[in-house]
A and B are shown apart, each in its own frame.
Chain A
Amino acid sequence: MEIDLLFKIAAIGILVAVLHQVLVRAGREDQAMMTTLAGLIIVLSMVIKEISALFNSVRTIFNL
């Protein structure tokens, strides 16, 4: 589970960058911005799931 999270985030980042360039070249700046936002939201949801897992485990270990 661990390392492929990083690869997923990197793949989404590169994909969004490429899509952004393609859409900008095609003259559709608004859709380019939409795809960037979509990629951002996907990555954010994954990272936030990890952050909540971290906070829960620290809370249970140190009984905060």
Chain B
Amino acid sequence: MEIVKIIGIGLVSLILIVIIKQYKPEFALYVSLGAGIIIILMVLDKLLGIIQLLTTLSQKAGINATYLSILLKITGIAILTEFGVSICKDAGETAVANKIEFGGKIIIISISIPIISALLEVIMQLIP
């Protein structure tokens, strides 16, 4: 049932954008920004349930909690970066979008350094 609301909001914002684009193009950008924010906010609550399931499963499987929290951080950063990149691309500013993407990648890599080092240690132990 939730999906109908999401599609409804998307279509309504599409209609509004097409109307406003003739008169004031910059307001069309704000309507698309608002629609993106509303849809993400609606879906975020469902994400909470998924994350709780992930944490309980990882505790059962005995996975280290820090790795899961790093993974969650990376997912959050990815969502926000993708949000910013798509808005910039919509407005036609691909240069800014690429800079945002580049920044997001660097932050994700810098956050996942512990995982990479742990992985290398495991590999080193495997090699006799």
Contact = CB atoms under 8 A, between A and B. Distances in A.
Q: How large is the interface on B (under 10, 10 to 19, 20 to 34, 35 or more residues)?
A: 35 or more
Is the contact region of chain A dominated by helix, strand, or loop, or is it mixed? Answer: helix
Contacts of B79: 58
Nearest to B23: A17
Given A58-B80, A61-B51, A62-B73, A16 B35 contact: no
Contact of A14 (B20, B40, B83): B20
Contact of A63 (B23, B34, B72): B72
Interface string A1-20: 01101110110111011000
Interface in A36-61: 36, 39-40, 43-44, 46-47, 50-51, 53-55, 57-59, 61
Given A6-B16, A58-B79, A53 B31 contact: no
A10 B41 contact: no
A3 B12 contact: yes
A50 B27 contact: no
Contact of B76 (A43, A50, A61): A61
Contacts of B20: 10, 13-14, 17
Nearest to A21: B23
Contacts of B48: 61
5 contacts: A10-B31, A36-B24, A58-B80, A62-B73, A64-B76
Interface of A: 2-3, 5-7, 9-10, 12-14, 16-17, 36, 39-40, 43-44, 46-47, 50-51, 53-55, 57-59, 61-64
